C-alpha cells in the first residue's frame, strides 16, 4: 500500500493550517507505509518511506487577469502531477488547489480518491475578492471532487456537518479524523529571543495567522479599542489574501495605535522557533476567526500552555473547552455563510471583555494553560491520527 499526497502547500512553502497538517501527517504516516508527496514548488528529496517532489510553474506567458493566475496555475500543476507516472495505490488530496489532480488520477489511473477537507468554498465567500471568477471554478472543482471521492475526511464534526449540508456525499464515505499537534515540538519554552527582537514586553495578548477575512483579524484590531490599557497586543500577521485587505489591515492598525498604545504588528510569517516563543510567553492567545474548520493555531497555543480566547465557530468548539482551557466567544453570523458578524461592534466588545477578564486573573490563565496542554496530549497526538488514517486506507482498499 502506497499513498500519493497531492497538495498546494508543503515545507518550506507553508502559509496555513492545511500545509501544517500535510507536513506532519505525511511524516507520521511514512513511519508506517510508503508516502509520496507532490506539491507546488521546487522541493525534491527522499528520506526513508517519504519522497517529496515539487512542481514549478512558468507563468511568464499568462495574460489572463492576475486573480486567475493562481487558478490556471493550479490546473496546470494538477495536470503535471498526473503526467508524471503514478504508481500509488490511492491518491489523497488536500485543499481545492489539488482536487483537479485527484480527479485526473482517479479517472485515468483507476486509483481510489481520498480528500481531507480543511475548509469549504461555500463557507468562504470572501475568496471571490482574491480569485474573482476563479472562485466559481474552485467551488465547482471542490463539489465535483468531493462527490466522486471514495472517502472524504472532515477535520472536525462541525466540518462533517457542513459537508453533509452542502454536498451529496454518501454517509458511509464521510469520516472525521481530527487535526493534530507535534507535542514534542510544540511545548512551553523559556526562550525569549523573539521578544527581544520585536520589542515585546510581558504580559501580552497574541494573534498568529494570515491576514484574511476567515481569520477575523480586522475584528480583533477593532476590539483592541475596548481592551484595558497596560498590556501589549502582538499581531503576528502576514501574507494578506489581497492588496485590499492588506491596506484595510494597515489602516485599522494605524487607527488603533493612535488610541491604544502597545500594539506591535509583526508583518511577516515567522518560523516555528519564533512562533513557539511567542505562544509560550503570551499571557493570552486570541483567535477571532469567523470561519474555522478546525483551528490548529488554538491547539498550538494550548500545547504551549497558553490560555485561549476564541470564537465559538466550527471545529474550534472541539478543540477549546469553554471555561476549562480558555473562553469561547459566541458570534452572531450574518446569513448562513460566515462573512461578517451581524453586530460587529458587539463581537469586538465581547472579544475584548474575555481578554480583559483573563489579563486581570493570572491564576485563571495558568489554570487554563495547564488544562490546555493536558487536552492536547490526550486528544490530538499525530501518531494516533496517522493510525486512524492508515486504517481508513486499509478499509478502502480491502475489497479491491
134's grid cell: 476563479
> How many angstroms separate the Cα of 110 from the Cα of each of 104, 106, 165, 285?
9, 5, 28, 46
The answer to whether the CB of 301 falls within 8 A of the CB of 285 is: yes
251's grid cell: 489602516
Tens of pLDDT, residue by residue over 202-218, are 999 999 988 888 888 98
How confident is the model at residue 334, as a pLDDT? 57
Q: Answer yes or no: is pLDDT of 336 > 80.
A: no
pLDDT: is 258 or 162 the higher one?
A: 162
| Second CATH level (architecture) for the domain 3-180+381-397 | 3-Layer(aba) Sandwich (3.40)
Confidence of residue 40 (pLDDT cuts 50, 70, 90): very high
Q: Answer yes or no: is pLDDT of 45 > 50.
A: yes
Lowest-confidence pick of 268-277, 327-336, 374-383: 327-336
95 backbone φψ class: left, alpha, beta (φ>0; ψ -120 to 50): left
- The backbone torsions φ and ψ at residue 75, rounded to the nearest 5 degrees and listed phi first, read -60, -45
The answer to whether the CB of 248 falls within 8 A of the CB of 221 is: no
- Compute the CA torsion angle 308, 311, 313, 314 (nearest 10 deg): -30
Confidence of residue 137 (pLDDT cuts 50, 70, 90): very high
Tens of pLDDT, residue by residue over 106-124, are 999 999 999 999 999 998 8
Q: What is the C-alpha separation between 305 and 280, in angstroms, rounded?
A: 7
Question: What integer is the mean pLDDT of 123-134?
Answer: 88
∠ CA 296-368-316 to the nearest 5 degrees?
Answer: 30
Q: Answer yes or no: is pLDDT of 400 > 80.
A: no
Place of cell 493510525: 387
Q: Exposure string (b/e) for 156-187, b if CB count within 10 Å is 16 or more?
A: bebbbebbeebbebeeebbbbbbbbbbeeebb
* Beta-bridge partners for 235: 207, 265
Residue % of the chain over a pLDDT of 90? 78
* Beta-bridge partners for 5: 37, 92
Q: How many CA atoms lie within 13 A of 90 on its CB side?
A: 22
DSSP code for 49:
T
Confidence of residue 243 (pLDDT cuts 50, 70, 90): confident
Question: What integer is the mean pLDDT of 166-180?
Answer: 95
How confident is the model at residue 337, as a pLDDT? 46
- Beta-carbon neighbour count of residue 113 at 10 Å? 25
Nearest to 373 by CA among 279, 303, 296: 303
∠ CA 233-239-245 to the nearest 5 degrees?
Answer: 80
Q: What is the C-alpha separation between 199 and 261, in angstroms, rounded?
A: 13
Nearest to 315 by CA among 339, 291, 293, 343: 293
Question: What integer is the mean pLDDT of 223-252?
Answer: 90
Give 193-379's CATH code, choosing from 3.40.50.720, 3.30.420.610, 2.60.40.10, 3.40.50.2000.
Answer: 3.40.50.2000
Q: What's the chain's average pLDDT?
A: 93
Nearest to 204 by CA among 236, 234, 235: 234
Q: Answer yes or no: is pLDDT of 387 > 80.
A: yes
pLDDT: is 142 or 246 the higher one?
A: 142
pLDDT: is 201 or 343 the higher one?
A: 201
The answer to whether the CB of 389 falls within 8 A of the CB of 114 is: no
Q: Answer yes or no: is pLDDT of 322 > 90.
A: yes
Confidence of residue 360 (pLDDT cuts 50, 70, 90): very high
Q: Which residues make up the CATH 3.40.50.2000 domain(s) of the chain?
A: 3-180+381-397, 193-379
Q: Answer yes or no: is pLDDT of 340 > 80.
A: no
The answer to whether the CB of 205 falls within 8 A of the CB of 233 is: yes
Q: Answer yes or no: is pLDDT of 60 > 60.
A: yes
How confident is the model at residue 333, as a pLDDT? 65
Q: How many CA atoms lie within 13 A of 82 on its CB side?
A: 22
- Residue spans of beta strands (DSSP E) within the chain: 3-7, 35-40, 44-47, 50-55, 90-94, 113-117, 151-154, 174-176, 204-210, 232-238, 263-266, 284-287, 307-311, 326-329
Q: With H, G, I as helix, E, B as strand and everything else as coil, classify residue 372.
A: helix
Lowest-confidence pick of 47-51, 270-274, 288-292, 329-333: 329-333
Amino acid at each position: 500500500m502506497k499513498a500519493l499526497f497531492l497538495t498546494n502547500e508543503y515545507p518550506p512553502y507553508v502559509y496555513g493550517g492545511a500545509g501544517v497538517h500535510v507536513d506532519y501527517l505525511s511524516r507520521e504516516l511514512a513511519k508506517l507505509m510508503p508516502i509520496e508527496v507532490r506539491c507546488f514548488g521546487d522541493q525534491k528529496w527522499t528520506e526513508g518511506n517519504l519522497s517529496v517532489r515539487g512542481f514549478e510553474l512558468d507563468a511568464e506567458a499568462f495574460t489572463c487577469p492576475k486573480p486567475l493566475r493562481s487558478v490556471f496555475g493550479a490546473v496546470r500543476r494538477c495536470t503535471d502531477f498526473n503526467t508524471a507516472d503514478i504508481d500509488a495505490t490511492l491518491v489523497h488530496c488536500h485543499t481545492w488547489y489539488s482536487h483537479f489532480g485527484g480527479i485526473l488520477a482517479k479517472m485515468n489511473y483507476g486509483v481510489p480518491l481520498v480528500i481531507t477537507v480543511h475548509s469549504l468554498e461555500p463557507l468562504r465567500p470572501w475568496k471571490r475578492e482574491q480569485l474573482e471568477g476563479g472562485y466559481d471554478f474552485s467551488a465547482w472543482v471542490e463539489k465535483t471532487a468531493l462527490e466522486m471521492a471514495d472517502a472524504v475526511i472532515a477535520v472536525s464534526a462541525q466540518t462533517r456537518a457542513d459537508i453533509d449540508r452542502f454536498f451529496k456525499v454518501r454517509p458511509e464515505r464521510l469520516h472525521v479524523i481530527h487535526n493534530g499537534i507535534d507535542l514534542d515540538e510544540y511545548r512551553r519554552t523559556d526562550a525569549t529571543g523573539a521578544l527581544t527582537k520585536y520589542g515585546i514586553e510581558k504580559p501580552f495578548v497574541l494573534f498568529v495567522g494570515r491576514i484574511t477575512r476567515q481569520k477575523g483579524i480586522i475584528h480583533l484590531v477593532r476590539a483592541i479599542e475596548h481592551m484595558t490599557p497596560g498590556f501589549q497586543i502582538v499581531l503576528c500577521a502576514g501574507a494578506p489574501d489581497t492588496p485590499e485587505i492588506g491596506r484595510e489591515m494597515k489602516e485599522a492598525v494605524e487607527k488603533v495605535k493612535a488610541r491604544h498604545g502597545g500594539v506591535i504588528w509583526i508583518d511577516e510569517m515567522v518560523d516555528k522557533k519564533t512562533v513557539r516563543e511567542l505562544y509560550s510567553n503570551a499571557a493570552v492567545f486570541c483567535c477571532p476567526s469567523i470561519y474555522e474548520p478546525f483551528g490548529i493555531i488554538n491547539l498550538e497555543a494550548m500545547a504551549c500552555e497558553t490560555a485561549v480566547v476564541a470564537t465559538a465557530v466550527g471545529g474550534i468548539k472541539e478543540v477549546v473547552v469553554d471555561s476549562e482551557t480558555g473562553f469561547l466567544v459566541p458570534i452572531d453570523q450574518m446569513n448562513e455563510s460566515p462573512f461578517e458578524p451581524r453586530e460587529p461592534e458587539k463581537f469586538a466588545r465581547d472579544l475584548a471583555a474575555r481578554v480583559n477578564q483573563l489579563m486581570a486573573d493570572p491564576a485563571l490563565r495558568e489554570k487554563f494553560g495547564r488544562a490546555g496542554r493536558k487536552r492536547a496530549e490526550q486528544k490530538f497526538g499525530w501518531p494516533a491520527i496517522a493510525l486512524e488514517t492508515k486504517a481508513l486506507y486499509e478499509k478502502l482498499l480491502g475489497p479491491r
